[in-house]
């Protein structure tokens, strides 16, 4: 068996996987690979899948699988899967960090202190008592909710496919979720239903000017509409780790011209601990399919 590691994983992973066969990071050997490991950089399009003539299993290290043409994999008899449990803590901590840093104006205070200012007039706010709306209530959002509860926040969630949650009060529509929210944290997969779900129409339903955090998928936000909402004050702050195209072109993405934004370069899953967890889940997945005789 040849395992191709196409994107960046923990450096310890190749040695762990050699129990199954040969391991390489030489992408020119894609045609030979039985198993291909990717993260967000590699796009497993039809053309990519056709080039991987020997591929039987492709694993996305992380949660979202919109960079894999799963329907075409199914058509070709290729197993496509991910590591859904590994990234929950790392991404949740980033989302919560963004909320905390916005409430406490950490970026502002840091910038003004470095500029020689001693600005005590600008006040912080607290997360305590504020309403958090979660869009999606999967593994990551559940971890966010657990942290928000510890801070004394009120938590509601909208998820079309989830009826109840032990950590949040479920509401029937996305409009109900965002209507009077102080903070909105987005944890949605990219589907036809969720593409640009955060748009001018939904923003118009918001009674407050919330802080919106997106650590899910960039294309779930209409960036033009978000930029206009930031300029008008309809949204007080926008924090994002993900973009409609990555890396984003600063001169083309309207968000970079907006006030009250916090950006990070799609690093939600990039904690040292999480890369180790992803590697273990990859190992367990390969072992499972070997034992089942689906790959060899």
Give the position of tokens 């994983």: 9
Distance CA 38, CA 89 (A): 20
Please tell me which residue in 217, 223, 277, 281 is annotated as part of the active site: 217
Does 187 participate in catalysis according to the annotation?
A: no
Collapsed DSSP state (helix, strand, coil) of residue 38:
strand
For residue 245, CA distances in Å to 74, 122, 190, 217, 223 come to 26, 35, 13, 10, 11
Distance CA 64, CA 282 (A): 15
Does 70 participate in catalysis according to the annotation?
A: no
Does 207 participate in catalysis according to the annotation?
A: no
What b/e sequence results for 241-265 when a residue is b if at least 16 CB atoms lie within 10 Å of its CB, and e otherwise?
Answer: bbbbeeebeeeebebeebebbbbee
The DSSP annotation for 198-213 comes to BSHHHHTT-SS--EEE
What tokens does 148 get?
């928000």
Please tell me which residue in 39, 60, 187, 266 is annotated as part of the active site: 266
Catalytic residues: 217, 246, 266
């Amino acid at each position: 068996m040849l395992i191709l590691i196409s994107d960046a994983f923990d450096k310890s992973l190749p040695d762990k996987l050699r129990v199954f066969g040969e391991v390489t990071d030489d992408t020119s050997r894609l045609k030979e690979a039985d198993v291909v490991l990717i993260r967000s950089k590699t796009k497993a399009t039809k053309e990519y899948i056709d080039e991987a003539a020997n591929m039987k299993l492709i694993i996305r290290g992380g949660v979202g699988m919109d960079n894999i043409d799963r329907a075409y994999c199914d058509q070709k008899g290729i197993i496509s899967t991910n590591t859904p449990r590994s990234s929950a803590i790392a991404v949740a901590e980033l989302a919560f960090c963004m909320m905390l840093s916005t409430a406490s104006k950490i970026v502002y205070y840091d910038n003004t202190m470095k500029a020689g200012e001693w600005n005590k007039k600008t006040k912080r706010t607290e997360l305590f008592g504020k309403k958090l709306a979660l869009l999606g209530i999967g593994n990551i959002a559940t971890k966010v909710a657990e942290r928000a509860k510890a801070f004394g926040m009120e938590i509601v969630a909208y998820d079309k496919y989830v009826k109840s949650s032990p950590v949040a009060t479920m509401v029937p529509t996305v409009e109900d979720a965002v209507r009077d929210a102080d903070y909105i944290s987005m944890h949605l997969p990219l589907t036809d239903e969720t593409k640009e779900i955060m748009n001018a129409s939904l923003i118009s339903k918001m009674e407050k000017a919330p802080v919106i955090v997106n650590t899910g998928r960039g294309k779930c936000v209409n960036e033009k509409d978000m930029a206009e909402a930031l300029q008008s004050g309809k949204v007080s702050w926008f924090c994002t780790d993900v973009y409609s195209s990555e890396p984003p072109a600063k001169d083309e993405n309207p968000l970079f011209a907006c006030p009250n934004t916090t950006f990070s370069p799609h690093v939600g899953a990039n904690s040292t601990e999480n890369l180790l967890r992803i590697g273990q889940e990859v190992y367990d997945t390969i072992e499972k399919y070997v034992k089942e005789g689906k790959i060899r």
